[in-house]
Amino acid sequence: MIVWVSGASSGLGLHTACQLTQAGMTVVAGARSYREKEGEAENGYRLYLDVRDEASMDRFVKQALSLYGPPDVLCCCAGVLVLGACEDYSAAELRDVMETNFYGQALMIKRALPLMRANGGGKIVLFSSVNGLLAVPYQGAYTASKHAVEGFAEALRMETSPFGISVCVVEPGDHRSGSAKYRRHAATDDPANPYYEDYQKTVARIDHDETNGSDPDVLGRKIARALNRKRLPARLLIASPDQKLAVLLHRLLPKKLFARIMTQYYGKRLK
């Protein structure tokens, strides 16, 4: 099975690519950081890929095809998080989040679909998040991008099913994936900002939950098992029991009550 993985140099993308390789799949791992590091590695054959740049995507596709032929699977893991109040995001920050988390997935899929149709079928895995199902304070841009992924995937699934192409949305909760290393902050991270005190408490909670989150290798193995099925599940929620409960409560509770619960959880100072 030939798998193309974007965002394969860090975080959940790296762990997913490594686990797919260990499961015996032929992985072509794409990432921006591979510009000077192309070649065989523990997470597959590394190629430079910037999902915000269509010329880079075209180059990746051409090189991947020359290496192994058309993909059986496209796994879109590339993502970026900018923390901040909705009011404080710059236009550049909003564009970067959407271009990486949503447009990057959509445009890689655009390039893979003709190859899969010609090959008689395929599988597409889009990375959403628990934030694709509910919002977290100070993650408004990220949440918006993941909600966009959810809606796009739903339409994509209906359109591509007649061609033997199945679509799965992976919805990870908090995982120990080293994402804090790459985290960026908007203008909210300033003592003079009116949101600053509440923001600091929320960021501390986010850091705590990720540090104590689930094993990212387990996520990678679950994706590998899903890919070995004849057809992918429509959704793969990979989260802790309390986060799964939060998703359920978001569906069932009045929105104002759920928002109050979330605000209290993220706004409470850690001891």
239 touches 218 (CB < 8 A): no
The CB density around residue 149, as the number of other CB atoms within 10 Å, is: 25
What angle do helix axes 11-22 and 216-227 make, rounded to 10 degrees? 50
The CB density around residue 61, as the number of other CB atoms within 10 Å, is: 21
Catalytic residue chosen out of the listed positions 10, 48, 146, 177: 146
Catalytic residue chosen out of the listed positions 6, 10, 48, 128: 128
- 268 catalytic residue (yes or no): no
- 37 catalytic residue (yes or no): no
Cα–Cα distance for residue pair 223/203, rounded to 1 Å: 29
Element (H, E) at 235: strand 235-238
- 146 catalytic residue (yes or no): yes
- Measured CA distances, 25 to 39, 198, 238, 255 (Å): 16, 45, 21, 43
Catalytic residue chosen out of the listed positions 6, 9, 10, 129: 9
Cα–Cα distance for residue pair 178/78, rounded to 1 Å: 14
187 touches 88 (CB < 8 A): yes
Catalytic residue chosen out of the listed positions 45, 89, 138, 142: 142
Q: So which residues are the catalytic ones? A: 9, 128, 142, 146
